[in-house]
Structure 1
Amino acid sequence: MRVLLIDTALSLCTAAVFEGETALAVRSEPMFKGHQERLAGFVRDVMAEAGTGFDGLDRIGVTTGPGSFTGLRVGLAFAQGFGAALGRPVVGISTLDALAASIAPDARAPGAVAALIDARRGQVYARLWCDGVAAGPAEALSLAAAAARIAALAPDITLVGSGAPLLSDAVPGAVVVDLPGPAPEALARLVVAADPRRAPPEPQYLRAPDATPPTRLPGQPRVQARS
């Protein structure tokens, strides 16, 4: 199965083409903003390097978050547009699931895994696994709540993702794997294995956006506060 992968959820902009779990071409660069300007060029480059036409793709995979609101919209809109134009299924993969799948076997503790994304404001986006089985859904947790949840899960645990260093002191003995985003190889495995009917490309937002809508339309007068 030949797949095009897109990941713009966190601090990377990644496009890749895989044949099953074999990388044909990968382009990934650290990027906190500007995904919209770079993504199309990355896709063009990896398709050319892979030596395949767009009609040779079997499906498209994209990360669905949690992550940056803007980054998620860019990646999801791009993937859905390509899927519609090519008539190919678009598979959505949780960023937390992809991070957990990115840990190399020799870099993890036996037992539990906590995928953690720094959500700012004293929070992390988190999902926990024990012996490969999810211990619950993805959640936005305070650092204290996340530390308590992790400590209760298992004595040996691997923390992965940008939120892992935030909890390393609170979880003594944990193995910490600080990744800026999912590994393309892990994302490819999940996309190939997924059932498109059960993995829609829909954004996963675990809290409201930091920005607030305007209180008045352009040109409207300001409402004077009553004394």
Structure 2
Amino acid sequence: MRLLVIDTALGACTAAVFEDDRPLAVRFEPMTKGHQERLGGLVRDAMAEAGGGFDSLDRIGVTVGPGSFTGLRVGLAFAQGLGAALDRPVVGLSALDALAASSDAVTGPVAALIDARRGQVYARLFANGEPLGPDKALSLGDAAGRIADLGPDIALVGNGAAVLVEAHPNLKFASRDDRVAPSPEALARLSAAADPAVHLPRPLYLRAPDATPPSRLPGQPRQPAS
């Protein structure tokens, strides 16, 4: 299976082409913003290096969140548009699942953590490679408690690990990987294994956006205080 993987949900812009487990071309640029400007060029360059043209793709995988509201929609829109143009399936991947799959931990539990700001992390815990529940937005205290329950052999992965450890310096863990985004290899493995009928390319939001629509239209008078 030849597939294109795309990730713009977190702290990098990724476009990579894989043939089964073999990387044909990988473009990975750390960035916190500007994904929209870079993604098209990275996909173009990766496809040119891989050869065979877009028609050679069998599937497209894309991260759906949790993560940046703007960033993840950039990748989703691009992947869905390309999938529609090529008539190829597009599978959606949890960024937390992809982070866990990027961990170097071979045995023991894993906690995938994304800095959600406002004293929270997006988290998902795994044991023996299986998730212990859905993706959740947790307070730092709740996340520390759940991780402590799994014992000191747990591996932490994702940029939320540093935030959690800073807030709870006595937290016990076996290893910490502060990577800003999933590895292309992990994205490819998950994309190849995903069922297109189940892993739909829909945004995964764990809380409401920080921005809110205006309460009045331009030129409309303010409502008197009650």
Which string of whole-angstrom CA distances, capped at 9 and with x for unpartnered residues, describes residues 158-183 of structure 1?
A: 00000011223242243111110000
Quickly say closer, same or farther: Cα 1:161–1:221, change in 2 above 3 A. Answer: same
Q: Work out whether 1:129 is the aligned partner of 2:126.
A: yes
CA distance in 2, matches of 1:127, 1:96: 6
Aligned ranges for residues 188-207 of structure 1 at < 5 Å? 188-207=188-207
Q: 1:146 aligns with which of 128, 143, 147?
A: 143
Q: Is 1:213 aligned to 2:213, yes or no? A: yes
Aligned residues: 223
2: distance between equivalents of 1:117 and 1:35? 18
Paired position in structure 1 for 2:89: 89
1:153 Cα offset (Å): 1.8
Partner of 1:58 in structure 2? 58
Query: Does 2:149 align with 1:159?
Result: no
* SS state at 1:124 partner: strand
Q: Taking every aligned residue pair, what percent have the same amino acid on both sides? A: 70
| Structure 2 residue ranges without an equivalent (≥5) | none
Q: Which letter does structure 2 place at the counterpart of 1:163? A: G
Normalising by structure 1, we get a TM-score of 0.95
Displacement of 1:48: 0.5
1:198-223 deviation digits (Å, cap 9, x = unpaired): 11001110000011110011221222
| Counterpart Cα distance in 1 of 2:220 and 2:145 | 49
Runs of 4+ in structure 1 displaced over 3 angstroms? none
> Normalised by the size of structure 2, how large is the TM-score?
0.95
Q: How does 1:22-41 map to 2 (within 5 A)?
A: 22-41=22-41
- Which residue is equivalent to 2:181? 181
How has the CA–CA distance of structure 1 residues 67 and 199 changed in structure 2, closer, same or farther, with 3 Å as cutoff? same
**TM-aligned CA deviation for residue 134 of structure 1:** 1.1
Following superposition, the deviation at residue 110 of structure 1 comes to 3.1
Q: Could you tell me which residue of structure 2 aligns to residue 69 of structure 1?
A: 69
SS in 1 for 2:83: helix
